[in-house]
Amino acid sequence: MCSCPWSNMIEKVLDKAVKTREHLNELYIEISKEHLKKVCMYLYENKDALLRLIFASDEREIDGSFRVYYVFSIPGVDRFFIPLISLKGDDLSFPSITELIPSAHWYEREIQDMFGLVPEGHPDPRRLLLHEAFPAQSHPLRKDWGISDDDLKEWGEGLARKEKNEFMKVEGEGVYEIPVGPVHAGIIEPGHFRFSAIGETIFFLEPRLFYTHKGTEKHFEGMSFTEGVRLAERVSGTSSFSHSSAYCMAVERMAGIEIPEKAKAVRTLLLEMERLYNHIGDIGNMCAGTGLAVGYSRGAVIKERLMQLNDRITGSRYLRGINIVGGVTQDIFIYAEDILSILDLVTKEYKGLMKLLLGTVSHVERLENTGRLSKDIAMKMGVTGVAARASGSNDDIRKAHTHLLYDRLVFEAHSSARGDVFARMMVRAEEAECSISMIEALFESSYQGGLAEEVKEIPQHASALGYSESPRGSLFYWVMSDKNGRPLRVKLRSPSFCNWPAVPFAVHGNIVPDFPLCNKSFNLSYSGCDM
């Protein structure tokens, strides 16, 4: 139980005492499900809080309960407000808040699929992660989950019937459907896009993902916390370092570990190097959508130069093998000369690329006013990262909840009010320049301490959040230990999970041939969603 102004605020809203627990910048507020909507709406409407994630946890080994956690943060306040409700016995339903807070939409459906907890009043109760052929009463993140012979039979029968995915049906004169995917050209992962169009104009789009769901959160439960770093690195290849950083941060906060200053500097440096190669690569890839082959090629060359640098200094093009719980494995600052010389070359090449792109009228005209996403929709749908900042938001986890050495660096959360593909390109361009400046600034100081702290014994039933601002947006991990100090629950929320539901709003009213360009401007990860 804690007594602070923030817990008193919730007590005033409910006009009753509430049980709260404070851990670092996390305030857990235990409420009944009858009070859930009132508390969530107070944070959302009165405090302009952002809903960062919703997740469930099977904590029956503690007190026989499932719990559902709602993670909010208020702009300008470095604190997470986490109302939570407990469900036990036969009453495994909870009030849906989707009609009040639209960004809750996918979270609640995910909880229903994976835990069998029912969001009462949800406007779209269809399956999300588990496709239609999956056994109806099988919920993989329950601790007692297993596949029975009956489940296998039901699954096989569903596959034999070629059970169809349930798509929203749009009817009207002149409306026709265009199914795209789930198998695409090249080597990208599967995703189905069901367009409803009138002529060439997109009237409605429904994406269907999770064809290659990997059961990552379930895999974490069979590992130790130290072993889990390797799994976190492999959730989404181009965000490997962001994932491992957020995961390690969560475990370290749970275990009470403060990593050395030098380890913080290494993590900050490599997070910006990951952002840099992603942003420049994405800017180049957008040229493929407009037919500007020279821009695509030049972007690919710069990205490859940066990834070869990654390989030389870490042994991994994707910056794997550096993060460990408690710190890092290598001092990257010994490679200062190589890093700074490549950055000097990349800066010149990158400026030349941007001059080419902005000077090519046909390219710019394809980007402007295409794929527009309004700030209102972006905020309501919980969009994060470049996509949010290109629509007028200034949310950036590096500033909102500063960590590592970001409080020592001078940088801005670059944003634009345009909300179109051009804005998403320019926000990336500005952030790439900012990342170069931050990397150079990190080399101007020296850092104390070793590379890692010893991992202490992890207390039972402890929990904590970890987070980072990945190239695609904010990334969260929440970890909880069991009675033996091993993972009871590892929840991860990637930015792609937040941003995929917003893509249909961005493409509405655009022509079908512009969809690949719109889609590439978000550059979302299939793997980062099919977790």
Examine the fold and report which residue of 89, 112, 129 is the final residue of a domain before the chain moves on.
129
Which residues 6+ apart lie within 8 Å of 351 measured at CB? Answer: none
Q: Of 148 and 192, which is predicted with more confidence?
A: 192
| 252 within domain boundaries | yes
The pLDDT of residue 294 is 97
Answer yes or no: do 373 and 491 share one domain.
yes
Query: At residue 39, what is the residue type?
Result: V
Give the pLDDT confidence score for residue 163 in this predicted structure.
54
**pLDDT for 60-87, tens place per residue?**
999 999 999 999 999 999 999 999 999 9
CA distances from 502 to 106, 316, 519, 522 (A): 11, 33, 11, 10
* In a shared domain, residues 223 and 356: yes
Which sign, positive or negative, has the C-alpha torsion 50, 54, 60, 65? positive
For the segment 153-174, the average pLDDT, to the nearest whole number, is: 74
Same domain, 338 and 455: yes
Burial degree of 513 (CB within 10 A; 0-12, 13-18, 19+)? exposed
Residue pair 461/368 in contact by the 8 Å Cβ criterion: no
Integer CA distances (angstroms), 261 to 232, 415, 453, in order: 23, 30, 11
192 located within any domain: no
Segment 281-293 mean pLDDT: 95
Q: Does 1 score more than 80 pLDDT?
A: no
**What pLDDT is stored for residue 412 in this prediction?**
85
Is residue 182 reached through a cis peptide bond, with omega within 30 degrees of 0 on the bond before it? Answer: yes
Question: Domain ends where: 129, 162, 193?
Answer: 129
Residue 142: inside a domain: no
| CB-neighbour burial class of residue 148 (10 A; exposed 0-12, middle 13-18, buried 19+) | exposed
pLDDT at 15 over 80: no
Mean pLDDT of 460-471: 97
d(CA 484, CA 486): 6
pLDDT tens digits along 297-339: 999 999 999 999 999 999 999 999 999 999 999 999 999 999 9
Query: Domain containing 14 — which CATH number?
Result: 3.30.460.80
Number of residues that make up the chain: 531
Q: Residue 354: pLDDT band by 50, 70, 90 thresholds?
A: very high
> What was the pLDDT predicted at 464?
98
Strands 463-470 vs 473-481: parallel, antiparallel or unpaired: antiparallel
Contact 65, 89 (CB under 8 A): no
Element (H, E) at 300: helix 293-314
Residues 260 and 117 in one domain: no
The answer to the question of residue 136 being in a domain is no
pLDDT of residue 258: 96
Q: Cα 286 vs. chain centroid, distance in angstroms? A: 21
Q: Within a domain: residue 180?
A: no
Q: For residue 501, tell me if it sits in a domain.
A: yes
Q: Please give the average per-residue pLDDT across 370-381, as a whole number.
A: 96
527: in domain:
no
> Both 339 and 449 in a single domain?
yes
Residue 159 — very low, low, confident or very high, per pLDDT cuts 50/70/90?
low
**Over the stretch 32-67, which tens digit does the pLDDT of each residue have?**
999 999 999 999 998 999 999 999 999 999 999 999
Return d(Cα 314, Cα 492) in angstroms, integer.
25
Residue in 350, 387, 339 with CA at minimum distance from that of residue 495: 387
Q: Which helix H or strand E contains 430, and what residues bound it?
A: helix 421-442
- pLDDT (mean) for 494-520: 95
Measured distance CA(28)–CA(68) in Å, rounded: 12
One domain for residues 462 and 319:
yes
CATH number at 276 reads 1.10.645.10
What is the per-residue pLDDT for 322? 98
120 in the same domain as 249:
no
Average pLDDT over residues 223-236: 96
Its domain, for residue 399, covers 216-522
pLDDT at 167 over 90: no
DSSP-derived secondary structure letter, 391: T
- The pLDDT tens digits for 388-404 are 999 999 999 999 999 99
Average pLDDT over residues 234-263: 97
- Residue 510's pLDDT is what? 96
Give the rounded percent of residues in the chain with a pLDDT score beyond 70.
98
Residue, of 91 and 259, whose pLDDT is higher: 259
Evaluate if pTM is beyond 0.75: yes
Do 224 and 109 lie in a common domain? Answer: no
pLDDT in tens, 129-148: 988 778 888 899 999 988 77
The mean per-residue pLDDT over the stretch 412-436 comes to 94
User: How many separate domains does the chain show?
Assistant: 2
pLDDT given at position 160 = 61
In a domain, 171, yes or no: no
Q: What is the pLDDT of residue 9?
A: 79
Of the pLDDT bands very low, low, confident and very high (cuts 50, 70, 90), residue 183 is: confident
Residues forming a β-bridge with 480: 463, 489
Domain check: are 221 and 107 in the same one?
Answer: no
Q: Which residue has the higher pLDDT, 117 or 130?
A: 117
Same domain, 123 and 223: no
Whether residue 90 is found in the same domain as residue 238: no
pLDDT of residue 3: 58
Which of 102, 129, 156 is the endpoint of a domain?
A: 129
SS3 139: coil
Q: In this structure, are 81 and 226 located in the same domain?
A: no
Q: What is the spatial distance between Cα 330 and Cα 463, in angstroms, rounded to a whole number?
A: 28
